[in-house]
């Protein structure tokens, strides 16, 4: 039986809530076979990140070539990349294998507040990965960091930042509103045709570790299944909202616990 295949290129979370582990869970929960390329190893749990071990660029290249030369990858999600030479290796790999449906989640800060990317990598993300992405999925602080601006605080500013992110080369931008305030968590999907507003009730829970990783992976899963971008984003938003709503069913760790990726199977 043929099954859609998606590849995640990201860092490993030893606690299992974010990064590669969250991506593979998200792929599986959304009916897609997941492969992985690890860019960094993190020592972390629900309380935070205590150490990061970077994977050399040549080994990232070896992983990309091993997967792409054998598996029919239909979408690629890119998460944590914290070295300029690794970013260059990923960009070269995407071109070499003509990777389709690239979803770039510009991971910069963990849920715990730990900074995960060096300053000199932000420009490399702008120049080398954003132009290769079908969609980028920054949250409000990440969108601001990519533009070197203050965090947007109202809808007009969010739309403006999204439109300027498009000028960096991505075909679409999903600015996630989870860091905002109020009873509604509103995301903004912005492309050349305009802006689509995607709202969902804001859920009161501390168990949101890996939310951004999981949402971008769910979008990649939809694209891998052949959905158009609007459908992939809408379905991913509905799935992540339900996974957050079910998060308190799990009792994992003493800090920011994970979302419930497999709520639908309980």
Residues recognised as catalytic? 176, 208, 210-213
Residues 6+ apart with CB under 8 A from 68: 7, 93, 96, 97, 99
**Would you list the DSSP string of 42-64?**
EEEETTEEEEEEEPPHHHHHHHH
Q: How many angstroms separate the CA atoms of 109 and 129, rounded? A: 18
The CA-atom distances, in angstroms, between 196 and each of 118, 165, 246 are 32, 16, 26
Q: What are phi and psi of 192, to 5 degrees?
A: -65, -20
Burial class (CB in 10 A: 0-12, 13-18, 19+), 13: buried
Structural Rg of the chain based on CA atoms: 17
- Residue 40 CA, distance from chain mean position: 15
User: Helix, strand, coil % (nearest 5) of the chain?
Assistant: 40, 25, 35
């Amino acid at each position: 039986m043929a099954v859609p295949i998606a590849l995640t290129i990201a860092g490993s979370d030893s606690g299992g809530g974010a990064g590669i582990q969250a991506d593979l869970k998200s792929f599986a929960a959304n009916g897609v076979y997941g492969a992985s390329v690890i860019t960094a190893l993190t020592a972390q749990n629900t309380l935070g990140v205590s150490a990061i071990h970077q994977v050399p660029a040549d080994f990232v290249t070896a992983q990309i070539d091993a997967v792409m030369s054998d598996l029919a990858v239909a979408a690629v999600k890119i998460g944590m990349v914290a070295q300029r030479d690794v970013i260059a290796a990923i960009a070269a790999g995407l071109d070499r294998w003509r990777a389709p449906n690239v979803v770039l989640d510009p991971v910069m800060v963990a849920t715990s507040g730990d900074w995960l990317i060096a300053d000199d990598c932000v420009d490399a993300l702008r120049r080398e990965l954003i132009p290769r992405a079908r969609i980028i999925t920054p949250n409000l602080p990440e969108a601001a960091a990519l533009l070197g601006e203050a965090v947007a605080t109202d809808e007009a500013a969010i739309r403006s930042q999204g439109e300027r992110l498009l000028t960096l080369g991505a075909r679409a931008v999903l600015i996630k509103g989870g860091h905002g305030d109020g009873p509604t968590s509103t995301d903004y999907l912005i492309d050349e045709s305009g802006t689509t507003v995607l709202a969902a009730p804001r859920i009161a829970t501390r168990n949101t570790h890996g939310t951004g990783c999981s949402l971008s992976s769910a979008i990649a899963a939809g694209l891998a299944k052949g959905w158009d971008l609007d459908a992939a984003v809408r379905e991913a938003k509905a799935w992540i909202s339900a996974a957050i709503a079910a998060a308190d069913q799990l009792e994992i760790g003493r800090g920011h616990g994970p979302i419930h990726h497999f709520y639908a199977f309980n």
